Chains A and B, each alone.
Chain A
């Protein structure tokens, strides 16, 4: 290796220094941890949801709406929706990082954030409407 050659592209930073700005030196650990924590939280929430679906599958509108209107159900449902789409966002981001390069990378990542964010929000608003928006006369 002749590092002093004038044709060599000289950058006053080591290869390691350049690599550090790209990968795990920044915030990879935090990303990895939230992926695992959200996954672990989803286990009991999903288990609860599966049991509820066994009780509720095939029921009519009144029964399902009444179920969704109960505070504990609404809370767990909102938690399930929020955690699911948070976990989806974190996971999809990694896929975008791996397969989408160049100019498309930033917009795609933003699109993933907006998409998962809006879906999560729609789920939570729906749950809140079920829990809080029922006509008072019907009790």
Chain B
């Protein structure tokens, strides 16, 4: 027996012979709905956000190690690919946070009817897109401006 759950799939026919009970159908038989997409994406963004946080910890470690390591870390975060990764990290954090807040609302016993779920889905998507893109653009923009300004000052000084 590969999986302990197999024990629960054992059933018997009226003549007593054993059969394997059918399992409930999986993803492929359903049409993709927004509620389904948001549920799946909440998991995926959780994993992506964890990956981003791992990179964030490496950034912290570089900072703790010293100026040279921090300069290398800055090269990574400063180049276009690094900026894209940062953008994705911020977006998945916002996405996962909005999903989590919806879970809190459901846990409190609200907005869990089919009609309410279908009403809230597009709102959630709008909030994710609005807050996520605004926050990521603002944060990366402010950092970029400050870094450029600092580079200019350094040039003037030297």
Contacts and interface: CB of A to CB of B under 8 A. Distances in A.
Contacts of B4: 22
B105 interface: no
Contacts of B116: none
A120 B50 CA distance: 11
Contact of B63 (A2, A22, A130): A130
A129 B139 CA distance: 26
Contacts of A125: 61, 64
Nearest to B93: A46
Contact of A36 (B93, B104, B139): B104
Interface in A58-85: 58-61, 64-65, 68, 77, 81, 84-85
Given A46-B93, A65-B63, A119 B143 contact: no
Contact of A84 (B8, B53, B138, B139): B53
Contacts of A111: none
A58 B70 contact: no
Contacts of A5: 12, 15-17
B97 A7 contact: no
Nearest to B53: A84
A43 B18 contact: no
B43 interface: yes
Main SS of chain A's interface residues? helix
A60 B150 contact: yes
Interface in B55-108: 56-58, 60-61, 63-64, 67, 70-71, 93, 97, 100, 103-104, 107
Contacts of B144: 58
A8 interface: yes
Contact of A92 (B14, B50, B57): B50
Interface of A: 1-3, 5-9, 15, 18-19, 22, 36, 39-40, 43, 46, 50, 53-54, 57-61, 64-65, 68, 77, 81, 84-85, 88, 91-92, 95, 101-102, 116, 119-120, 122-123, 125-127, 129-130, 133
27 contacts: A1-B12, A5-B12, A5-B15, A5-B16, A7-B17, A15-B8, A18-B7, A36-B104, A36-B107, A39-B103, A43-B97, A50-B135, A58-B146, A58-B149, A61-B63, A77-B60, A88-B50, A88-B53, A91-B50, A101-B2, A116-B50, A122-B61, A123-B60, A123-B61, A126-B60, A126-B64, A130-B64
